[in-house]
């Protein structure tokens, strides 16, 4: 049985993801946490010292003797130091904290890319691209809340509470201990309650967000098809309904946040009221000085600062833990990025089985994820250097499956696939909203401009690119907008030539192209193909006549083969769309050099 596209999330999946996040965090996260502690403690100290200083100054000014003896310089210097230190530590916390989380998320994103580059991950991505993209963006970015908005404030709140307890302990040790216990129990209770109340709502919100994004993309990109089918208004209503469902989840999260804010206010108000009452009683009884009482009151005010940040972090942690749970399967499957990347690209396992052999399949069975029936069975196929093999058969017979096996995008459930690294030209050409240069550099990031122009010339596209006036800096629209279908296919060929791989995999390379454009593309392929091995899936006569050998697949099984010059070859080629009675006995290289092609 082939590997499934989706893997059940391991038990304690959050722990897997959070452990990976912790391992990816650089040392700067420690400095960020220390800076956050310093910020909160400086804030509490600033309020407490300022209150003490103002009160002490007022008391000292009651008589000339005490006013002259009172030292105003050291307390005022301490206040300035605390104010400046709080500003500096806050800035350092932001810089170190965001640097740490961005570095960690970049490392985890690399691991996820490598995991999705495996055969199992590639098919999961192909089957559910929108969902996988949301995992790579929304779910991964949500982990920022765990570190910056929950873990750091929670750790910073501990010394802040201890400092406040120490300051209130100047009124009475019992008051200091009671303050620390009250704050600890209140913080834990509010945080746990917020997390429990927000997790389910956050999960529903994430689901609605995914569905609304997919529906909106369909609404925007498929307007023509929706209009022609009379479904445009219905799709618009669906988007609006999903938006309202999303807004309802936002309202629920807001209610949770409002409730938690009220509980935090009650906690802070109760602590402040108790501190005022206790300080007033002790000051009135002469047990402590008035400045100490005011200092304790303002310390009780300042200690509530970290609880607001912790509450917001707890509200987002439910969403973050959901993302962590959903990412756990991929992170569990991924190894070290470098090793995994080599395995995904086939560097380690794609060596030729014999000199001159570029692809070998022996007794290969394969089935697609979420399918029990095998897509191909008992495939035995070899492609040699310089040989061109055409795969023919009805749609769904298994041609694309064989190409996927050869490319390493699909893992066999039985048998062995080995060979050289390969370049693929699929039916649809993937070009990006970028310059021509950057679209080419995807194949070889180190290629210089001279090399890029050489492959464009070989692909027959150099003149068209030069005519734009901007050359390699010419910008393409989304999906290669600005190029014709034939030009886009030639750009894909140029990109393939940069890779210098000895095996070409061609999946109906001229399907949907007109005869003139197709002849140019085939001429380019034949001229540039040289001694490379070809494995080409085709329905068309004009493509099959380039092959040295034709292989027919039916119901996932190879049922017939024919080499050029045999009756079987001529019969199979002439059965294809656009076939004719004339099949050249040799490769039609000479015919490709003229406009009088044998299939026109």
Cα separation of 568 and 572, whole Å?
6
DSSP output for 345-395: HTTTT---SSTTEEEEEEEEEE--TT--S-SEEEEEEEEETT-EEEEE-ST
Two tokens, residue 314: 């707890």
Model confidence band, residue 31 (pLDDT cutoffs 50, 70, 90): very high
Residue 122 above 70 pLDDT? no
- The domain of 177 spans 13-200+261-341
Q: What angle do CA 460, 463, 464 make, to 5 degrees?
A: 90
Residues 53 and 174 in one domain: yes
Nearest residue to 392 (alpha-carbon basis) of 575, 592, 600: 575
Pairing of strands 503-507, 422-425: parallel
User: 559 lies in a domain?
Assistant: yes
What integer pLDDT is reported at residue 88 of this predicted model? 94
Q: What average pLDDT does the structure give for the chain?
A: 81
In terms of domains, do 280 and 398 share one?
no
Final residue of a structural domain among 290, 312, 341: 341
Q: Do residues 548 and 522 share a domain?
A: yes
The CATH number given to whatever domain includes residue 439 is: 3.40.50.300
Q: What integer is the mean pLDDT of 262-270?
A: 90
Residues 490 and 438 in one domain: yes
- A 10 A CB-CB count for 148 gives 22
Q: Reply yes or no on whether the pLDDT at 315 is more than 90.
A: no
Q: How many residues does the chain have?
A: 600
- What is the spatial distance between Cα 277 and Cα 262, in angstroms, rounded to a whole number? 22
Is residue 439 included in any domain, yes or no? yes
Residues 332 and 382 in one domain: no
CA distance 525 to 150: 57
- Do 472 and 379 sit in the same domain of this protein? no
Taking residues 488-506, what's their average pLDDT? 86
Query: Any idea what the CATH number is for the domain that residue 104 is in?
Result: 1.20.1560.10
Does residue 246 lie in a domain region? no
- 73 and 177 belong to one structural domain: yes
* 320 lies in the same domain as 271: yes
pTM: 0.65
Per-residue pLDDT reduced to its tens digit, 361-380: 989 998 877 777 888 999 99
In our burial notation (b when 16+ CB lie closer than 10 A, e otherwise), range 547-570 reads: bbbbbbbeebebeeebebeeeebb
Residue 248: the pLDDT is 92
Answer yes or no: is 228 within a domain.
Answer: no
Same-domain status, 379 and 438: no
Residue 570 to residue 581: CA distance in whole angstroms: 8
Q: Is 254 a domain residue?
A: no
Domain boundary among 458, 479, 500: 500
List alpha helices for 459-587, DSSP H.
462-466, 485-499, 515-529, 541-544, 567-574
Band (pLDDT 50/70/90 cuts) for residue 552 is very high
548-to-27, 387, 554 alpha-carbon distances in Å: 60, 6, 20
The residue with greater pLDDT, 346 or 243, is 243
pLDDT band at 207 (very low <50, low <70, confident <90, very high): confident
Among 461, 479, 500, identify where a domain stops: 500
pLDDT digits (tens, 9 = 90+) for 505-532: 988 888 777 777 778 778 878 877 778 8
What does the pLDDT average to over 335-341? 43
540 DSSP 8-state letter:
B
In a domain, 164, yes or no: yes
Burial 250-284 (b: 16+ CB within 10 A, else e): eebbeebbeebbebbeebbeebbebbeebbeebbe
Cβ-based burial of 342 (10 A; exposed 0-12, middle 13-18, buried ≥19): middle
Q: Are residues 54 and 174 in the same domain?
A: yes
Q: What is the pLDDT of residue 391?
A: 93
CA 57 to chain centre: 59
Same domain, 400 and 290: no
CB 460 within 8 A of CB 528: no
Instruction: Answer whether residue 248 is part of any domain.
Output: no
539 in the same domain as 490: no
Q: Give domain status of residue 347, yes or no.
A: no
Non-local CB neighbours of 191 within 8 Å, separated by 6+ positions: 154, 310, 311, 314
**Number of independent structural domains in the chain:** 3
């Amino acid at each position: 049985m082939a590997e499934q596209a989706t893997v059940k999330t391991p038990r304690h999946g959050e722990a897997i993801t959070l452990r990976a996040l912790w391992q990816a965090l650089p040392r700067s996260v420690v400095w960020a946490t220390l800076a956050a502690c310093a910020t909160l403690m400086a804030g509490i100290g600033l309020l407490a010292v300022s209150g003490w200083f103002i009160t002490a100054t007022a008391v000292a000014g009651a008589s000339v003797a005490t006013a002259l003896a009172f030292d105003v310089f050291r307390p005022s210097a301490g206040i300035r130091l605390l104010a400046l230190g709080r500003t500096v530590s806050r800035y350092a916390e932001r810089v170190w904290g965001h640097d740490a989380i961005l570095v960690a998320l970049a490392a985890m994103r690399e691991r996820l890319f490598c995991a999705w580059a495996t055969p199992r991950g590639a098919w999961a991505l192909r089957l559910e691209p929108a969902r996988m993209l949301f995992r790579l963006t929304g779910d991964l970015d949500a982990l920022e809340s765990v570190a910056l908005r929950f873990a750091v404030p929670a750790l910073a709140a501990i010394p802040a509470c201890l400092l406040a307890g120490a300051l209130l302990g100047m009124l009475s040790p019992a008051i200091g201990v009671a303050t620390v216990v009250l704050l600890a129990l209140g913080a834990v209770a509010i945080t746990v309650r917020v997390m429990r109340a927000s997790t389910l709502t956050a999960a529903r919100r994430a689901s609605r967000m995914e569905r609304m994004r997919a529906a909106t993309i369909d609404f925007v990109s498929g307007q023509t098809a929706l209009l022609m089918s009379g479904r445009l208004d219905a799709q618009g209503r669906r988007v609006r309904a999903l938006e309202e469902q999303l807004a309802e989840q936002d309202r629920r999260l807001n209610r949770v946040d409002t409730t938690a804010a009220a509980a935090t206010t009650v906690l802070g108000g109760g602590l402040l009221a108790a501190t005022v009452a206790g300080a007033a009683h002790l000051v009135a009884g002469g047990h402590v000085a008035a400045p100490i009482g005011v200092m304790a009151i303002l310390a009780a005010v300042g200690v509530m600062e970290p609880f607001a940040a912790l509450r917001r972090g707890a509200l987002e942690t439910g969403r973050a833990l959901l993302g962590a749970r959903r990412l756990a399967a991929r992170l569990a499957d991924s190894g070290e990025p470098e090793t995994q990347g080599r395995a995904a690209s086939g560097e380690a396992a794609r060596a030729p089985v014999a000199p001159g052999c570029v692809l070998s399949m022996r007794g290969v069975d394969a089935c697609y994820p979420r399918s029990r029936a095998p897509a191909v069975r008992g495939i035995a196929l070899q492609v040699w250097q310089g040989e061109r093999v055409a795969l023919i058969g009805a749609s769904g017979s298994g041609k694309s499956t064989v190409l996927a096996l050869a490319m390493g995008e699909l893992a066999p459930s039985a048998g062995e696939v080995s060979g050289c690294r390969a370049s693929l030209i699929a039916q649809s050409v993937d070009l990006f909203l970028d310059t021509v240069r950057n679209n080419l550099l995807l194949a070889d990031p180190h290629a210089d401009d001279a090399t890029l122009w050489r492959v464009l010339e070989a692909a027959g596209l150099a003149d068209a690119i030069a005519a734009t006036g901007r050359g390699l800096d010419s910008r393409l629209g989304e999906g290669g907008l600005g190029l014709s279908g034939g030009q886009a296919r030639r750009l894909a060929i140029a990109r393939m030539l940069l890779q210098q791989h000895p095996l070409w995999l061609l999946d109906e390379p001229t399907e949907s192209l007109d005869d003139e454009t197709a002849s140019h593309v085939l001429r380019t392929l034949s001229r540039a193909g040289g001694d490379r091995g070809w494995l080409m899936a085709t329905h068309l006569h004009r493509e099959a006549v380039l092959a040295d050998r034709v292989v027919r697949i039916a119901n996932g099984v190879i049922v017939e083969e024919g080499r050029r010059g045999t009756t079987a070859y001529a019969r199979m080629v002439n059965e294809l769309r656009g076939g004719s009675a004339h099949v050249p006995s040799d490769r039609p290289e000479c015919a490709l050099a003229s406009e009088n092609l044998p299939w026109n």
